[in-house]
Amino acid sequence: MRNLFIFFILFLLSACGKRIVDNTPLESNWLLPLVKGNISLNDLSRLEGTTFDYVITPAQINQPTNTPVSSPAFTVDFIGPFTVPTQDIIKYLKVDSIELGIHLKNIFPVNIQSGFTVTLRSSDNTASSSNVLFSKTFSNAIAAQSQDSLPLSIHNVTIADSLYFYIENLNIDAFNQVVFNENVPVQFTIDKVRLNELAFFPNKNFSISDTVEFSSGDLSSIYDAGGNTLADSAVSGFLNLFTDNGLPVNLRMQMTFLKNNLPVDSVFENSFILNGAGVDAAGIPNSIDAKKNSVAIRKVKLKNIESCDRMIYSFSINTDGYTSPQVIMGKQNKLALQIVSDIALMLNPFQL
């Protein structure tokens, strides 16, 4: 009986020894990068921060190539259009302001006189003045092999499918026995865009993304927590996402964590689908789609996330199912996203 009792005690001790709890500390603020994404109307237009490169060819100023030519001074009425397209999902943009720049490098072997104008039009019709959104004149001459830039700023305009830039009244100095064998590069930059409203066509789709960077192994640093983080041992739990979609678009969302630009893990096993807001006959949102989604979070996922250094918000957007001629989105439309963690912790206050 005594031997049986000793065997029973040893069996219990060995059984308890196999129940190992992983108490490796993890940052309690591991989910903070999830709330740092930032998608705006400007991202939907995909105009801000873009650069467009074009050229002026000798043929556009009525000159042959690789042949010595001479000419008195002359003027070219219109060169262009240089087209800046918006997204094909967009029907129109109501613009509060756009800051642009034009850079021209005169590789032609002739001088360009001051006084030519850069004109921004809402259509490619140069016979009309009603489509002129903005115009500005270069006050400097641009000698051969020289370059110049001109900042542009437009306010309170409506843009349809594209912008059309023209160079107008380009004055060329007289030249004698020169050879045109290169194109003049023209670069347009759209530096800042502030939109009041945009309208989408129905039954269209496109994708956008936003990247959040943080320090690997210290996710709370992006919130400047000042070192007041709580070391815990998260075993498992749920990430609950409550969304109120007031945007008149359907969204498919994913949050992917990367380390050294390689995907490590994602929040959702499959993309999180959000239905768009309801709209009235004019395409203006009149109801909000509310939804809850719960994601199982286990410690292996937490450790994967903590080892990463960036996260990418990916949004696939579509207007499928909308029957209005357009769906209208403005600054008043929002996607509210509440992220609540329900994490089980294993605490051992007596552990040395």
Residue with tokens 């605490």: 347
Question: What is the spatial distance between Cα 50 and Cα 191, in angstroms, rounded to a whole number?
Answer: 7
Q: Which of 288, 311, 305 is nearest to 343 (CA)?
A: 305
> Is a pLDDT exceeding 50 seen at residue 351?
no
**What value does the mean pLDDT take over residues 190-206?**
86
Dist. CA 113–CA 126, nearest whole Å? 22
* 225: helix, strand or coil: coil
Using CA atoms, how far apart are residues 99 and 7, in angstroms rounded to an integer? 83
For the segment 195-214, the average pLDDT, to the nearest whole number, is 83
* DSSP assigned state of 33: G
pLDDT score at 229:
38
More confident residue, 323 or 4: 323
Among 105-119, 187-201, 326-340, the range scoring the smallest mean pLDDT is 326-340
pLDDT surpassing 50 at residue 102:
yes
Tokens 């709580």, residue? 230
Residue 329's beta-bridge partner residues? 198
d(CA 137, CA 157): 20
> Of the segments 64-68, 204-208, 317-321, which one has the largest average pLDDT value?
64-68
**Residue 220 in this model has a pLDDT that exceeds 70:** no
| Per-position b or e across 319-331, b if 16+ CB within 10 A of its CB | beebebebbbbee
Q: How far apart are CA 133 and CA 94, in angstroms?
A: 12
Which of the listed ranges 207-211, 231-235, 297-301 does the model predict with the highest average pLDDT?
A: 207-211
CA distances from 278 to 26, 40, 77, 242 (A): 42, 20, 49, 18
Name every residue whose Cβ is closer than 8 Å to that of residue 118 and which is 6 or more positions away in sequence.
102, 135, 136, 137, 138, 150, 152, 165, 166, 167, 168
CATH 1.20.1050 fits domain 44-198: no
Collect all residues with Cβ–Cβ distance below 8 Å to 281 and sequence separation of at least 6.
324
Which carries the bigger pLDDT value, residue 349 or residue 207? 207
What's the sign of the alpha-carbon dihedral 53, 56, 60, 64? Answer: negative
Selection from 170-179, 205-214, 297-306 with the highest mean pLDDT? 170-179
Range 331-338 average pLDDT: 78
What gap in Å lies between CA 270 and CA 284, rounded to an integer? 30
Predicted confidence at residue 230, as pLDDT, reads 34
- pLDDT of residue 27 exceeding 60, the answer is no
Residue 151 near residue 99, CB atoms below 8 Å: yes
Percent of the chain whose predicted confidence (pLDDT) is above 90: 20
- Counted residue by residue, the chain has a size of 352
pTM: 0.64
Extents of the domains making up the chain? 22-40+202-345, 44-198
Q: Is the pLDDT of residue 243 over 90?
A: no
